């Protein structure tokens, strides 16, 4: 099969490798219908040291089950499924509490042991807990827009939803979203679904913020840093936002977040932090009695409900995909996203 590997910064290659095989009786092999490039994939694309062996890439897919291990009970060959970006048993104590990304038996794709999902075939560990069937959809005849929306549920939309959920977005509240990437825009859509009265999107790319407005953003702030903080404070009458959803992961975005959160408010982070130390003292969180929350989204906790919403036409999160390329052009997909020529790129085998 063909699969995507990264050998260092800006060095993405699609190579022919052996097909994955069942290694554990709880595994499944899935034939990929669509995969995609994530914003978090750009972190190694920017800074990974060159190496002689490639690291498998990709953690988002929809596909059709080709084979299952002898202990798989709820997934069958031929099922059309969504795979969350992490694998989990969905039965351990943390899974039962709704934090499947902390599963005691789970883990992450993109290692030599598990492989990546930007490929033609993928081995899915703990298949019963890690795959969710999409009922009544034939991927060979389904509309491209439907496939895109289902693919968005494997990570990006439900990461935005997780930000809003953990931030306690609710009717009557003002929400600010920092970042106009696919996760930030998804957070706008999720905040509108949860009833936010006002949604301020902090982003400066009109093609992206236009989608944010279509999804419910009431205001757009293009300024960054202190100027951006000042603008949000002016829009909110000096009070700040009840909820701030930080979807970038860099320190300037975090500084904006605590600059605009109102006293007693919540900052919810889902942008993978590219820093270790974040201010939490009097001048940032403590003085405002602000809450800091967020983390890797437990997509599995939200997936059945979101699939139903997509199939009913209630949400269309696939609009974040503005390009689709064949898997062989994965390197171009990374380049397009890195240069911001594309918001999010889907890959078809």
Residue in 150, 156, 183, 125 with CA at minimum distance from that of residue 34: 150
Residue 146: CB atoms within 10 Å:
17
User: In whole angstroms, what is the distance from residue 160 CA to residue 325 CA?
Assistant: 24
Are 114 and 195 within one domain? Answer: no
Q: Which domain-ending residue is among 274, 294, 314? A: 294
Domain enclosing residue 235, as ranges: 160-294
Q: Tell me if 74 sits within 8 A of 21, measured CB to CB.
A: no
Burial class (CB in 10 A: 0-12, 13-18, 19+), 45: buried
Share in percent of the chain as helix, strand, coil (round to 5): 35, 25, 40
Alpha-carbon torsion angle 113, 114, 120, 126, nearest 10: 140
Query: Quick one: 147 and 16 in the same domain?
Result: yes
**Structure-block tokens of residue 43:** 């972190």
Q: What percent of the chain has pLDDT over 70?
A: 100
Q: What is the model's pLDDT at position 117? A: 98
Q: What is the mean pLDDT of residues 82-111?
A: 98
CATH number at residue 243: 3.40.50.720
Same domain, 173 and 41: no
- Asked whether residue 305 falls in the same domain as residue 275, the answer is no
Q: What is the pLDDT of residues 150-203, one digit of tens each?
A: 999 999 999 999 999 999 999 999 999 999 999 999 999 999 999 999 999 999
Task: Label residue 12 exposed, middle or buried (CB < 10 Å: 0-12, 13-18, 19+).
Answer: buried
For residue 345, the 8-state DSSP code is: E
pLDDT, averaged across the chain: 97
Q: CA angle 80-15-343, nearest 5°?
A: 60
Residues 35 and 124 in one domain: yes
| Amino acid 73: pLDDT | 97
Q: Do 87 and 75 share a domain, yes or no?
A: yes
Same domain flag for 264 and 317: no
Q: Please say whether the beta carbons of 104 and 129 come within 8 A.
A: no
Q: Is residue 221 within a helix (H) or strand (E), and if so which, with residue range?
A: strand 219-221
Are residues 341 and 216 part of one domain? Answer: no
Residues 264 and 313 in one domain: no
Co-location of 62 and 102 in the same domain = yes
Same-domain pairing of 134 and 184: no
User: What is this structure's pTM?
Assistant: 0.96
pLDDT tens by residue, 284-294: 999 999 999 99
- CATH number for the domain including 145? 3.90.180.10
Question: What average pLDDT does the segment 332-338 reach?
Answer: 98
Residue 216 — very low, low, confident or very high, per pLDDT cuts 50/70/90? very high
- Closest of 33, 45, 7, 109 to residue 333, by C-alpha: 45
Question: What is the domain count for the chain?
Answer: 2
Burial class from Cβ neighbours inside 10 Å (0-12, 13-18, 19+) for residue 205 reads middle
User: Same domain for 10 and 151?
Assistant: yes
* Domain end (from 271, 294, 317): 294
């Amino acid at each position: 099969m063909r699969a995507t590997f990264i050998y260092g910064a800006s060095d993405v290659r699609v190579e022919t490798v052996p097909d994955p095989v069942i290694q554990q009786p709880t595994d499944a092999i899935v034939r990929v219908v669509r995969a995609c490039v994530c914003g978090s994939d750009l972190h190694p694309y920017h800074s990974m040291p060159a190496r002689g062996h490639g690291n498998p890439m990709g953690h988002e897919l929809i596909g059709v089950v080709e084979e299952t291990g002898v202990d798989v009970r709820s997934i069958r060959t031929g099922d059309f499924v969504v795979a969350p970006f992490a694998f989990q048993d969905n039965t351990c104590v943390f899974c039962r509490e709704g934090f499947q990304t902390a599963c005691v038996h789970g883990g992450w794709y993109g290692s030599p042991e598990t492989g990546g999902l930007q490929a033609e075939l993928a081995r899915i560990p703990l298949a019963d807990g890690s795959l969710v069937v999409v009922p009544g959809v034939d991927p060979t005849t389904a509309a491209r827009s439907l496939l895109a929306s289902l693919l968005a549920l494997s990570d990006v939309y439900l990461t935005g939803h997780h930000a809003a959920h953990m931030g306690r977005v609710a009717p009557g509240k003002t929400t600010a979203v920092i970042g106009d990437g696919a996760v930030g825009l998804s957070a706008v859509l999720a905040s509108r679904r949860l009833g936010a009265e006002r949604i301020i999107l902090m982003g400066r790319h009109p093609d992206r913020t236009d989608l944010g407005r279509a999804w419910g953003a009431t205001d757009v702030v293009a300024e960054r840093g202190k100027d951006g903080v000042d603008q949000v404070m002016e829009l909110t009458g000096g009070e700040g936002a009840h909820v701030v959803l930080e979807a970038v992961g860099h320190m300037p975005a975090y500084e904006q977040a605590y600059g605009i959160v109102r006293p007693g408010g919540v900052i919810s982070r889902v942008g993978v932090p590219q820093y270790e130390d974040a201010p939490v003292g009097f001048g940032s969180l403590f003085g405002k009695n602000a809450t800091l929350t967020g983390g890797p989204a437990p997509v599995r906790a939200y997936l059945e409900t979101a699939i139903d919403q997509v199939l009913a036409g209630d949400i269309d999160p696939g609009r974040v995909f503005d390009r689709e390329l064949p898997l062989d052009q994965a390197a171009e997909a990374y380049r397009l996203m890195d240069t911001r020529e594309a918001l999010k790129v889907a890959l078809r085998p």
